[in-house]
Amino acid sequence: MAGIWVYVDHFKGAALPASYEAVAAAKTLGGPVTALIFGQGVDALAQSAFHYGADEVLLGDDASLADYRAEAYASLLSKLAKEHQPDAVLFSTSTRGREIAAMAAIDLDTGVLVDVTGISKDGDGFAATHPIYAGKLLSKVTVSAKPALITLRGRAFGKPVADTSRSGSVTKVAAAVADGDLQTKVVDYATVEGRVSLADAGVIVSGGRGVANNPALTPPAEITDEKEKEIWRAQQGFLMIGELAQALGGAVGASRAAVDAGYIPYASQVGQTGKVVSPDLYIALGISGAIQHLAGMRTSKVIVAINKDPDAPIFKLARFGVVGDLYEIVPALTKALKERLSK
Amino acid sequence: MKIAVFVKQVPDSAAKLSVDNGTVNWGDAPLVINPWDEYAVEAALQLAEKHNGEVAAISLGDENAKEALKHALAMGAASATLVSDPALAKADAAAAARVFAAAVQKLGGVDLAIFGKQAIDSDTGLAPAMTARVLGWPALSMVAAIPSLDAGSIKVERAIEEGRQIVEGKLPAVLSIVKDFAEPRYPSFMGIRKASKAEIPVWSLGDLGISAPDSKVSWAEISAPPARDVTSEMVTGANADEIAAKLADLIIAEGVL
């Protein structure tokens, strides 16, 4: 069963879009593609894997795999890889993909090419492109052992096309570690929302420090502290940004300055110490464009910037720029885009 | 409670980088402690304060890495050790993890080994899970909060893509810490003085009792990314509605919606 394997990353049975990008990328490397699907009651994912290009599926369906746990998933992947000797195993670069690949690399005495944006055949093995320093530089990386474990950056490999006529064979596999021998237990999930994840978003609308600059907004009387007033103003601004993002089916991002000032939680931070993103459309509002922020979004397809400062560095990357007050432009832009998109 | 915290010395995130003869050049930008490791040190110190523990900082690197260790000492770590060996110059993440695991074993009696979520230079984020695997300990990565910790177990909130996952693990364990945990403290004046005088011991591979682990990953070539080829167009108009209408038409014409 040599060939290329793909770990299909999912959360509670919903596959990450990047998982099928990985299946499609595996197809381009030649040879049969095997999808690995671990969980409980997740057999429906097998059909999708076939549609996107998998030839067969190894299905680990067990109560001990119901919640993702790195040790359980990595142990099963390593056991299967030892038995079947694939040439490479592809993952999406999620928290889960990174961890499973890391652990499997130790088990299998091989290496991980992590968060790559391109893969090619390199003699008997594989070479890949890994953006380092948040994408300020690119590193060509190779791995000398097999299987090559490679995690793929979301949205870097193009959108896969489903062929619903494809099908394949499903082989059930047993869990590698008994539940009682695992060292971790998932207790609960919190604040699990249906939000658009920054990594998968086709559109991101981000706000920076400039979002607090609206003196026209009057904070409620009980807020007396100046800093609290500023945060309140900025939060109202992020609600307005959220409306634009929602109209475009996108996600809300932020600069580090906005996160550090307490305007919005860290999960939204784009940049070198936040998330590196690559949407089709990135709208930067009140973001001047510090080098750390630019590194995190410079590969976006189309960048639009609205800023009061005509000298803001963000304009150098922008396809379209507006020098002006985001509080005037954004509501009008949301309305204009809604009108055009509903036609 | 004994806590090991791993720190790395990296070029400042504001550095403008170039490539000279295949090596990375960060000009006159300073080398600093990896920003994500500051959160790891903060978490280690808070846990030590609460649970009567002691924090040992460890770094793998050359002499420069002593500065990252001094930062950890100035923040409040009780001890610092540099692991340095010429044979580790080209160590990949898995090789480094085997060295980290050996350092944890040599320290002895470690209950928690704590990392930042990734280093801002190599950007792999593999060290925590790999080190855990070598040690045979559970890996609890992307930890945003630690609701409980006792002699035998730890409960953490992990910041995953979909929200928070609350997980219990047995000790000893490996953690990686994310920014939500807490703002890292500034080094105190006394801390800085203490750190500047500290003698930092250096462990070689021989001291750790291991030979250089094999590195399977290599960096054939480092390059600058292609310049972004963009024609900028400033959109102007008599009022916000006119600007918005023009901008909306232009965005839609790009075909990205």
Domains parsed from chain B with CATH numbers: 2-208 (3.40.50.620)
Instruction: Name the closest residue on chain B to residue A333, using Cα atoms.
Output: B244
Q: Do B225 and A137 touch (CB under 8 A)?
A: yes
SS (H, E, C) A81-116: HHHHCCCEEEEECCHHHHHHHHHHHHHHCCCEEEEE
When scoring A133, A191, A299 by the number of chain B Cβ atoms within 10 A, the one with the most, hence best to mutate, is: A133
The residue ranges of every structural domain in chain A are 4-181, 198-341
Q: Which of B60, B63, B40 is nearest to B103 (CA)?
A: B60
What would the pLDDT profile of B211-256 be if each residue is shown by its tens digit?
Answer: 999 999 999 899 999 888 899 999 999 999 999 999 999 999 999 9
Phi, psi for residue B220 in degrees, rounded to 5 = -70, -30
Instruction: Give the pLDDT mean for A49-61.
Output: 97
Mean pLDDT for chain B overall? 96
As beta bridge partners, residue A149 has A89, A112
Cα separation, B233 vs A314, whole angstroms? 13
- Report residue A1's pLDDT band, with 50, 70 and 90 as the boundaries: low
Residue B71 in contact with residue B7, Cβ under 8 Å?
yes
What would the pLDDT profile of A116-148 be if each residue is shown by its tens digit?
Answer: 999 999 888 899 999 999 999 999 999 999 999
Topology of domain A4-181 in CATH is Rossmann fold (3.40.50)
Chain A contact present for B162, CB below 8 A: yes
Residues of A whose CB is below 8 A from B133: 74, 102-103, 106-107
Q: Do B257 and A341 touch (CB under 8 A)?
A: yes
Phi, psi for residue A178 in degrees, rounded to 5 = -70, 145
Residue B171 in contact with residue B47, Cβ under 8 Å?
no
Residue A328 has pLDDT above 60, yes or no: yes
What would the pLDDT profile of A221-253 be if each residue is shown by its tens digit?
Answer: 999 999 999 999 999 999 999 999 999 999 999
Q: Which residue has the tokens 């509501």?
A: A331
- A 50-89: CB under 8 A from B: 68-71, 74
For residue B147, the surrounding DSSP H or E stretch is strand B139-149
- Tokens for A323, please give them: 């020098």
What is the CA B80 to chain-centroid distance, rounded? 16
- Tokens for A326, please give them: 């985001």
When scoring A183, A326, A339, A343 by the number of chain B Cβ atoms within 10 A, the one with the most, hence best to mutate, is: A183
Q: Do B247 and A322 touch (CB under 8 A)?
A: yes
What are the distances in angstroms from CA A129 to CA A44, A105, A277? Answer: 33, 19, 16
Chain A contact present for B256, CB below 8 A: yes
Q: How far is B83 from chain A (nearest CA, A)?
A: 21
Please determine whether the domains at A4-181 and A198-341 fall in the same fold group of CATH. Answer: yes
Q: How far is A169 from chain B (nearest CA, A)?
A: 31
What would the pLDDT profile of A287-316 be if each residue is shown by its tens digit?
Answer: 999 999 999 999 999 999 999 999 999 999
What would the pLDDT profile of A160-213 be if each residue is shown by its tens digit?
Answer: 999 999 999 999 999 999 999 999 999 999 865 556 788 889 999 999 999 999
Q: Do B220 and A142 touch (CB under 8 A)?
A: yes
Residues of A whose CB is below 8 A from B250: 320
ipTM for the predicted complex: 0.95
Chains A and B form CB pairs within 8 A to the count of: 269
The CATH number, out of the four listed (3.40.50.1220, 1.10.10.60, 3.40.50.300, 3.20.20.370), of the domain defined by the range A198-341? 3.40.50.1220
Q: Around Cβ B59, how many Cβ atoms within 10 Å?
A: 28
Instruction: Name the closest residue on chain A to residue B120, using Cα atoms.
Output: A133
Residue B74 has pLDDT above 90, yes or no: yes
